Structure 1
Amino acid sequence: MDDPARLPPATSAPVLEVRGAVSRTNADGAAVFDMEMLKALPRARLDTTTAVTDGIRRFDGFLMRDLLDLVGAQGTTVTARAFNDYAIDIAIEEFDRFDVVVAYEMDGKALVPSDKGPLWIVYPRDQHTELRDIRYDYRWVWQLRWLEIE
């Protein structure tokens, strides 16, 4: 019988690890995801401008809140950390207020590590005037690799 507190194991190279106050794990107290597992989450699409690209771009991925629900996140803060150790704390309630996407594609092409991939946190800045503030631009973590829930 499957354990509802356990996620299935990653079967290929891990691309995201979620640690901290989570109730569903699959590896030593963490939820580790390969790209196939992330692509199994409900798909989300967002068309928006960014502070680092030209024009409106189309992002495909999943909603951060869907990932947090899947791992049973029980905290108030998400620390998002990139491959280069850039890290920022984000209030978990933002993911309920806004449709924040964790993108794995931009304009129909997979995000790659040499260009912001494989995962990029993307805010719906064109849909909410308040998200055009530079303080939110710092939350657009590209080359996302780890999330810590507190």
Structure 2
Amino acid sequence: MTNLATRRNFILYVKYATLFTAVAKPRFALALDEEPLLRVTSISDKISSVFTDSMLLDLPQVSFTTETIWTDTPQEFSGPTLRSVLKTAGLAFPARDLKLSALNDYSVTCPADLIGENAPIIANRRNGNPFDIRKKGPLWLVFPYESSVLYRTETIYSLSIWHLSEISVL
């Protein structure tokens, strides 16, 4: 990694750490040896939270095995629900839509009415293990596609954003 890239990563880390600690609930502490993976912001940017992998693991986990149109075999995905992440970030169940953004600048708008109690999840484990960018990680918004025909639509597939890095309330 070049000095410029290292410096940029450090600045981003400090920025996210500062944002998180300003609004953090006492039970969370940003580990200095962990990179922030996910930023959640409100419409006014007055509420902003940053999550690391261990913070996401501290939330209640949902796990399911499903086939996807992007994988050759059924995969087990696990992670917190989108709803629980929003709640932990201090956002009530959104009456507004969400903008989901990926590391590669892909973004999509998620209608609030598609956020259920148990789906989608923000998967940070695939087949029981963390997964990296080459395998669509480290975070992937996933639905239990095989559980209902409602989860096998172009709309749902477009919301299944991998490399998820930011959620903003619109």
Confirm or deny a common fold (TM above 0.5).
yes
**Shorter-normalised TM-score: what interval?**
0.7 to 0.9
Which structure shows the higher helix fraction? 2
Larger radius of gyration: 2
CA-atom RMSD, angstroms?
2.0
Higher relative contact order (CA 8 A, sep 6+): 1
Higher mean C-alpha displacement, 29-38 vs 92-101: 92-101
Structure 1 CA distance, aligned partners of 2:109 and 2:118?
16
Question: Residue in 2 aligned with 1:123?
Answer: 143
TM-score (norm 2): 0.76
Question: Residue in 2 aligned with 1:13?
Answer: 35
Which residue, 23, 37, 43 being the options, matches 2:55? Answer: 37
Q: Structure 1 stretches (4+) deviating beyond 4 angstroms?
A: none
Structure 1 CA distance, aligned partners of 2:130 and 2:43?
30
Which residue, 132, 136, 147 being the options, matches 2:156? Answer: 136
Question: Residue in 2 aligned with 1:59?
Answer: 77
Which residue, 59, 64, 68 being the options, matches 1:50? Answer: 68
Shift of residue 70, structure 1, vs aligned partner: 1.2
Task: Tell me the secondary structure at the aligned position of residue 18 of structure 1.
Answer: strand
Question: What stretches of structure 2 of length at least 5 have no aligned partner?
Answer: 1-22
**AA aligned opposite 1:146:** E
Question: What stretches of structure 1 of length at least 5 have no aligned partner?
Answer: none
Q: Give the conservation status (yes or no) of the 8 Å contact 2:60–2:80.
A: yes
Against the structure 1 CA distance between its residues 67 and 97, is the aligned structure 2 distance closer, same or farther, given a 3 Å change threshold? closer
Question: Identity over the aligned pairs, expressed in percent?
Answer: 24
Shift of residue 98, structure 1, vs aligned partner: 5.4
Which residue, 111, 116, 120 being the options, matches 2:131? Answer: 111
Task: Tell me the secondary structure at the aligned position of residue 125 of structure 2.
Answer: strand
Which structure shows the higher strand fraction? 1
Q: Deviations over 1:33-70 (max 9, x none)?
A: 11111110001101111110012211011111111111
Higher mean C-alpha displacement, 31-40 vs 94-103: 94-103
Question: Residue in 2 aligned with 1:78?
Answer: 98
Shift of residue 97, structure 1, vs aligned partner: 6.1
